[in-house]
Amino acid sequence: MTQQSAPTTETNPATTTEKPWGGRFSEPTDAFVEGFTASVTFDKRLYHHDIQGSIAHATMLTRVGVLTEAELKDITTGLEAIRQEIESGNFQWSVSLEDVHMNIEAALTERIGITGKKLHTGRSRNDQVATDVRLYLRDEIDVLAAELSRLQTGLITLAAAEANTIMPGFTHLQTAQPVTFGHHLLAWNEMLQRDYERLMDTRKRVNVLPLGAAALAGTTYPINRNLTAELLGFDRASENSLDSVSDRDFAIEFCSFAALLLMHMSRMSEELVLWTSSQFDFINLPDRFCTGSSIMPQKKNPDVPELVRGKSGRVYGHLMSLLTLMKSQPLAYNKDNQEDKEPLFDTIDTVKGCLRAFADMIPALEPRRDVMREAARRGFATATDLADYLVRKGLPFRDAHEVVGKSVAFGVAENRDLSEMTLEELQQFSTIITADVFDVLTLEGSVAARDHLGGTAPAQVTAAAKRALALVAQRDE
């Protein structure tokens, strides 16, 4: 589980603080520049992973003989104490120390003395921050994957329960053909399944260790990067030191996944907003997922899906921000890359909130089955079934299309659906129509006829839901 930073107290920027890198400088950093270039206000959330990476780095340095066992013990004990101090809210973050890395290193040196200064041997903040962000994102991906699975499970379970619930299917937001509500929900699940697969594919490229690249060229110390990768649970170490410190593809790829997921959730939200309106009235959202109006007492607003729909634009913006950030950078690391964290962090937080809201809300949807069925009945939804019937009787499809079009025009004029017409009325458009036509003009007959893989027949929906649940269940095995 990803650790969250406890509330902390910020210090004011100072102009005289001694910098760990200040040896070649002849004057202190300008007070405004100090605050402007600092990142600790937002990257302090990486504290858990910074400490995790530092302990692994120190362990590796000990194994290769750069540090002693006693020094490793002091470093580990000191870092664990700092972790507890941060989580208890007692750690004093300093803007003058720029970032999470230097704040923790400075606190460690103050706590254990000169040994703390040895921790940074063989690494740079360039490969350190790349490692921290990957560790953090990897943990967050696992949290998001669990929430996405929870959403899918609730969605599929509801779909299975509504395998026989008939509703109109739409193209151009016009009634097209009858489908089942369960079939429609499983269409949403197909989107989410692709999102889950993209997320897991992204995780593979996140789970690569950059530590050991140092500033850009590697290090002269006899480090063992494969050992560090093993200690931190990475699949492998990166191959090229220049790319290792300057690569942010993994963050962009994650935000690309997030943009696609939010696009799908926005489409789902749009349908939920439509369906909860009095004009559709297909579903009821429980009150706990809605809000009211400050002036109109009758209102019940679907704020959760509306807000999720709106947050898609926020995530799209973060993706474009990261793409723009990286598009003109020469190798290797540049200060520009400090700007990668806030878009990434906010994307993670936004996606996490949206998934939690939907995972709680979707299983609680209450379909208004009679309203859905009546909407399908009144929209000439079985017109294609009549055309298929005529084709099976030997009429060419284009001629059948014309016959059905005239039948629908008659129905519009008479305010009656095809299934409400008499046999004689239908026969005025084609004499090959016989009494068995009413078997295909019913809504139940229409959906049942689509009895093939991917079709809307209740039996197919039930089978598809079973397969989808099994696929989600395999993730925990």
| Alpha-carbon gap, residue 117 to 75, rounded angstroms | 10
What is the per-residue pLDDT for 293? Answer: 80
Q: What is the pLDDT of residues 228-260, one digit of tens each?
A: 999 999 999 999 999 999 999 999 999 999 999
| E strand or H helix at 264 | helix 249-276
Which sequence positions are flagged as catalytic? 172, 293
What is the per-residue pLDDT for 26? Answer: 66
The length of the chain, given as a count of residues: 477
Q: Which two tokens stand for residue 103?
A: 């704040």
Ranges under pLDDT 70 in the chain: 1-26
- How many C-beta neighbours within 10 Å does residue 227 have? 16
What is the per-residue pLDDT for 140? Answer: 98
Q: What spatial distance separates the first Cα and last Cα of the chain, rounded to whole Å?
A: 19
Instruction: Answer whether the bond into residue 214 is a cis peptide, omega within 30°.
Output: no
Chain-centroid distance of CA 217 in Å reads 35
What is the per-residue pLDDT for 21? Answer: 58
Strand partners, 177: 169
What is the per-residue pLDDT for 9? Answer: 40
What is the per-residue pLDDT for 219? Answer: 98
Cβ-count burial of 89 within 10 angstroms (0-12 exposed, 13-18 middle, 19+ buried)?
exposed
- pTM above 0.75? yes
16-40 per-residue burial string, b: 16 or more CB within 10 A, e: under 16: ebeeeeeeeeeebbeeeebeeebbb
What is the per-residue pLDDT for 251? Answer: 98
CB 465 within 8 Å of CB 395: no
- How many C-beta neighbours within 10 Å does residue 175 have? 19
What is the per-residue pLDDT for 10? Answer: 45
| Alpha-carbon gap, residue 362 to 448, rounded angstroms | 26
Strand duo 9-10 + 92-93: pairing: parallel
The answer for residues whose C-beta is within 8 angstroms of residue 259's C-beta and 6 or more apart is 312, 315, 316, 319
Q: What is the largest CA-CA distance in the chain?
A: 101
| Alpha-carbon gap, residue 410 to 200, rounded angstroms | 54
